[in-house]
Amino acid sequence: MIGVELVRPGTGDPGDPAPDLASAVLEAAKRRGVLIGKGGLHGNVLRIAPPLTLTSTEAAEGLAALTAAIEEVTP
């Protein structure tokens, strides 16, 4: 499993949790065909659990979709 914690930029170290952004990224990724989860103490961590049969091509496609989802919801 891979965790990606989303925090608000410029709010210090480690930053303020951004659960609303995590929810938005989750929905944007779903529209692109990538199913991820959300968790963490503040609900701001994206949970990515690829199957063990994942190919490098599938990983690249998933990364591209997740990157596009993050770019869609962040200013």
What tens digit of pLDDT does each residue of 28-68 get?
A: 999 999 999 999 999 999 999 999 999 999 999 999 999 99
Residue 38 and residue 47 in contact, taking contact as beta carbons nearer than 8 Å: yes
Helix crossing, 56-73 with 19-31: angle to 10°? Answer: 130
Q: In what order do the strands lie in the sheet with 37-39?
A: 2-5, 45-48, 37-39
Domain 2-73 superfamily per CATH: Aspartate Aminotransferase, domain 1 (3.90.1150.10)
- Is residue 65 within 8 A of residue 75, CB to CB? The reply is no
Residue 3 backbone zone (phi > 0: left; psi -120 to 50: alpha; other: beta):
beta
Asked whether the predicted pLDDT for residue 12 surpasses 80, the reply is no
